[in-house]
Chain A
Amino acid sequence: MIDKKRIRNWILTAISLVLLFLLLGYLNKHASSYVIQILNVTAIYIILTTSYNLINGITGQFSLEPNAFVAIGAYTAALLTMTPQEKAMTFIIQPCISPLNHISIPFLPAILIGGVVTAILAFLMGIPVFRVRGDYLAIVTLGFGEIVRVFATNAIPITNGALGLKGLKQYTNIWWTWGTAVVVVFFIVGLVNSSYGRAMKAIREDEAAAQAMGINTFWHKMLAFVVAAFFEGVGGGLLAHLLTTIDPRLFTFFLTFNLLIMIVAGGLGSTTGAIIGAILFAWGSELLRWMEEPHVILGIHTPGIPGMRMVTFSILLILLMIFARNGIMGRKEFSWDGFLGFFSRRILRRA
Chain B
Amino acid sequence: MGAILKTEKIVMKFEGLTAINNLNLEVQEHQIFGLIGPNGAGKTTAFNVITGFLVPTEGKVYFRGEDITGLKPNHITKRGIARTFQNIKLFPEMSVIENVMTGFHIHRKFSFFEAMFRLPRFFKDESKMYHQGMELLELVGLTEFAHEQAGNLPYGHQRKLEIARALATDPVMLLLDEPAAGMNPQESSELMDLIRKLRDERNLTILLIEHDMKVVMGICERIKVLDHGEEIAEGTPEEIRNNPRVIEAYLGEARKVA
Interface residues of A (CB under 8 A from B): 2, 187-188, 190-191, 194-199, 201-202, 205-206, 208-217, 223, 227, 331
**Do A201 and B101 touch (CB < 8 A)?**
no
**Do A196 and B91 touch (CB < 8 A)?**
no
20 A-B Cβ contacts within 8 A? A190-B116, A194-B126, A195-B129, A196-B112, A205-B91, A205-B93, A208-B53, A208-B85, A209-B85, A209-B90, A209-B91, A211-B53, A211-B72, A212-B77, A212-B166, A213-B105, A214-B105, A214-B106, A217-B74, A227-B112
- Please, how many angstroms separate the alpha-carbon atoms of A227 and B110 in the complex? 17
**Do B53 and A213 touch (CB < 8 A)?**
no
Q: How close is B87's CB to chain A, nearest CB, in angstroms?
A: 10
- Please, how many angstroms separate the alpha-carbon atoms of A202 and B99 in the complex? 8
- Please, how many angstroms separate the alpha-carbon atoms of A227 and B116 in the complex? 10
Option from B78, B90, B94 in Cβ contact (under 8 Å) with A198: B94
- Please, how many angstroms separate the alpha-carbon atoms of A211 and B122 in the complex? 23
A201-B74 contact in complex given A190-B116, A212-B83, A215-B105, C-beta closer than 8 Å: no
The residues of B that contact A191 with a CB separation of less than 8 Å are: 112, 115-116
**Do B83 and A187 touch (CB < 8 A)?**
no
**Do B74 and A198 touch (CB < 8 A)?**
no
Q: How close is A47's CB to chain B, nearest CB, in angstroms?
A: 15
A331-B91 contact in complex given A190-B117, A194-B122, A211-B73, C-beta closer than 8 Å: no
Closest to B165 in A: A213
Interface size for B (C-beta < 8 A) is: 39
Closest to B119 in A: A190
Option from B85, B89, B102 in Cβ contact (under 8 Å) with A199: B102
**Do B118 and A201 touch (CB < 8 A)?**
no
Query: B21 an interface residue at 8 Å Cβ cutoff?
Result: no
Option from B78, B105, B116 in Cβ contact (under 8 Å) with A187: B116
The residues of B that contact A208 with a CB separation of less than 8 Å are: 53, 73, 85, 89
The residues of A that contact B73 with a CB separation of less than 8 Å are: 208, 211-212
**Do B112 and A213 touch (CB < 8 A)?**
no
Identify the interface centre among A2, A199, A223: most chain B CB within 10 Å of its CB.
Answer: A199
Closest to B114 in A: A194
- Please, how many angstroms separate the alpha-carbon atoms of A331 and B151 in the complex? 14
**Do A195 and B165 touch (CB < 8 A)?**
no
Identify the interface centre among B112, B117, B129, B168: most chain A CB within 10 Å of its CB.
Answer: B112
Interface residues of B in 54-84 (CB under 8 A from A): 72-74, 77-78, 82-83
Identify the interface centre among B72, B85, B89, B102: most chain A CB within 10 Å of its CB.
Answer: B102
**Do B126 and A195 touch (CB < 8 A)?**
yes
Binding site secondary structure of chain A: helix
User: How many residue-residue contacts, CB under 8 A, span A and B?
Assistant: 103
- Please, how many angstroms separate the alpha-carbon atoms of A213 and B127 in the complex? 19
**Do B101 and A198 touch (CB < 8 A)?**
yes
Identify the interface centre among B83, B91, B101: most chain A CB within 10 Å of its CB.
Answer: B91
**Do A215 and B102 touch (CB < 8 A)?**
yes
One digit per residue, 1 when the CB lies within 8 angstroms of any chain A CB and 0 when it does not, for chain B 176-217 equals 000000000000000000000000000000000000000000
Closest to A269 in B: B93
**Do B104 and A195 touch (CB < 8 A)?**
yes
The residues of A that contact B116 with a CB separation of less than 8 Å are: 187-188, 190-191
A213-B103 contact in complex given A191-B115, A202-B94, C-beta closer than 8 Å: yes
Option from A195, A216, A217, A331 in Cβ contact (under 8 Å) with B93: A331
Option from A195, A212, A214 in Cβ contact (under 8 Å) with B101: A195
One digit per residue, 1 when the CB lies within 8 angstroms of any chain A CB and 0 when it does not, for chain B 109-137 equals 01010011110001001110100000000
The residues of B that contact A190 with a CB separation of less than 8 Å are: 115-118, 122
Identify the interface centre among A195, A198, A223: most chain B CB within 10 Å of its CB.
Answer: A195
**Do A194 and B112 touch (CB < 8 A)?**
yes
Query: B244 an interface residue at 8 Å Cβ cutoff?
Result: no
Query: B51 an interface residue at 8 Å Cβ cutoff?
Result: yes
**Do A205 and B92 touch (CB < 8 A)?**
yes
Q: How close is B115's CB to chain A, nearest CB, in angstroms?
A: 4
Closest to B48 in A: A208
Closest to A188 in B: B116
Closest to A197 in B: B115
**Do A216 and B94 touch (CB < 8 A)?**
no
Q: How close is A335's CB to chain B, nearest CB, in angstroms?
A: 12
Query: B7 an interface residue at 8 Å Cβ cutoff?
Result: no
**Do B89 and A212 touch (CB < 8 A)?**
yes
- Please, how many angstroms separate the alpha-carbon atoms of A150 and B98 in the complex? 45
**Do A194 and B115 touch (CB < 8 A)?**
yes
